[in-house]
C-alpha cells in the first residue's frame, strides 16, 4: 500500500494528464523505473514511443498541408525529443510520482530528463493497453495542444552541439571534444554518459541520455550554459 503523500502526488498527476486508469497495475508499472526491478516501464516506453511518433506525425501532416517532408521531420523531432518530453513531465510535476530505486533517488533521478521523458512515453503505452490506441493518441494530442498550436515552419532551431561549436569558434579556442565516460544497462536499454571537454576553457562537463547522440547533446547544453556564465 502506498503512503498517503505518494498517493496524493499520483492522484494529482492523473488529474493533470486527464486520464483515470482502470488497471492500477499498469499505472504503477508506467511510473516504475528499472532501478526498482521488475516490472518496470521499459516495455511500456517501447510502445509509447511508437504511438507518440505516429500521433505527432499525423497531427503535423494534417495541420501543415504546405510543409515539406523536411519541415515535418524537423518539427516532429523537436516535439518528441527528450527535452520536450521532460518539459511536459515537469509541467505535470511527474517526478514526485515516480518509483525509483534508492540509488536513483539519491542521485536526483526524479528530475533527470531521460527518466522523465521515458516515463511520459511509458504512460502513453500504458493508456493504449488500459484503453485503446485511439485513447492514447487523444491523450497525446491533448498534452501537446499548446505546442501544436504555436508551431512555426521555418529555419530549424540549432541543436546544443551546433550552438556550442559556434560559441567556441567565436572565442577562437579548440573545438569541443566528446568522449563516452560510461555505458550502463542492458543492451536494449542503455544509458550513456558522455564527457565534453573544451581545451583551455571547460573540462569534465557530463551529460546523460539513452543514446550517445542524446548524451552528447545533453553535455553540450550544460557546457553552453557554463560558457555563457563566464
Cβ atoms within 10 A of the Cβ of 176, count?
A: 23
121 is in an annotated binding site: yes
- Using an 8 Å Cβ cutoff, are 125 and 30 in contact? yes
Catalytic residue, candidates 121, 159, 208, 216 = 121
Q: What is the DSSP annotation of 184-210?
A: ES-TTS-EEEEEEEETTTEEEEEEEES
Q: Rounded to the nearest 5°, which phi and psi values hold at 183? A: -135, 120
Cβ atoms within 10 A of the Cβ of 199, count?
A: 12
118 is in an annotated binding site: yes
Catalytic residue, candidates 42, 49, 82, 216 = 49
Is 121 an annotated catalytic residue? yes
How far is Cα 217 from Cα 207, in angstroms, rounded to an integer?
7
Residue numbers in the known binding site are 45, 118, 121
Residue numbers in the known binding site for Mg(2+) are 45, 118, 121
Q: Which residues are catalytic?
A: 49, 121
Amino acid at each position: 500500500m502506498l503512503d498517503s503523500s505518494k498517493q496524493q502526488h499520483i492522484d494529482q498527476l492523473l488529474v493533470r494528464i486527464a486520464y483515470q486508469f482502470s488497471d492500477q497495475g499498469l499505472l504503477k508499472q508506467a511510473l516504475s523505473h528499472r532501478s526498482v526491478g521488475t516490472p518496470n516501464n521499459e516495455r511500456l516506453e517501447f510502445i509509447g514511443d511508437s504511438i507518440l511518433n505516429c500521433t505527432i506525425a499525423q497531427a503535423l501532416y494534417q495541420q501543415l498541408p504546405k510543409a515539406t517532408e523536411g519541415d515535418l521531420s524537423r518539427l516532429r523531432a523537436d516535439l518528441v525529443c527528450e527535452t520536450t518530453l521532460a518539459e511536459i513531465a515537469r509541467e505535470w510535476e511527474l517526478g514526485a510520482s515516480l518509483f525509483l530505486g534508492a540509488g536513483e533517488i539519491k542521485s536526483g533521478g526524479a528530475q533527470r530528463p531521460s527518466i522523465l521523458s521515458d516515463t511520459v512515453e511509458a504512460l502513453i503505452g500504458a493508456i493504449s493497453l488500459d484503453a485503446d490506441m485511439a485513447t492514447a493518441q487523444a491523450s497525446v494530442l491533448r498534452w501537446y495542444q499548446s505546442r501544436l498550436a504555436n508551431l512555426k515552419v521555418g529555419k530549424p532551431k540549432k541543436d546544443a552541439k551546433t550552438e556550442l561549436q559556434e560559441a567556441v569558434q567565436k572565442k577562437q579556442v579548440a573545438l569541443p571534444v566528446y568522449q563516452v565516460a560510461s555505458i550502463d544497462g542492458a543492451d536494449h536499454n542503455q544509458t550513456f554518459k558522455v564527457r565534453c571537454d573544451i581545451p583551455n576553457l571547460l573540462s569534465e562537463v557530463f551529460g546523460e541520455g539513452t543514446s550517445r547522440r542524446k548524451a552528447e547533446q545533453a553535455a553540450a547544453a550544460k557546457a553552453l550554459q557554463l560558457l555563457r556564465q563566464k
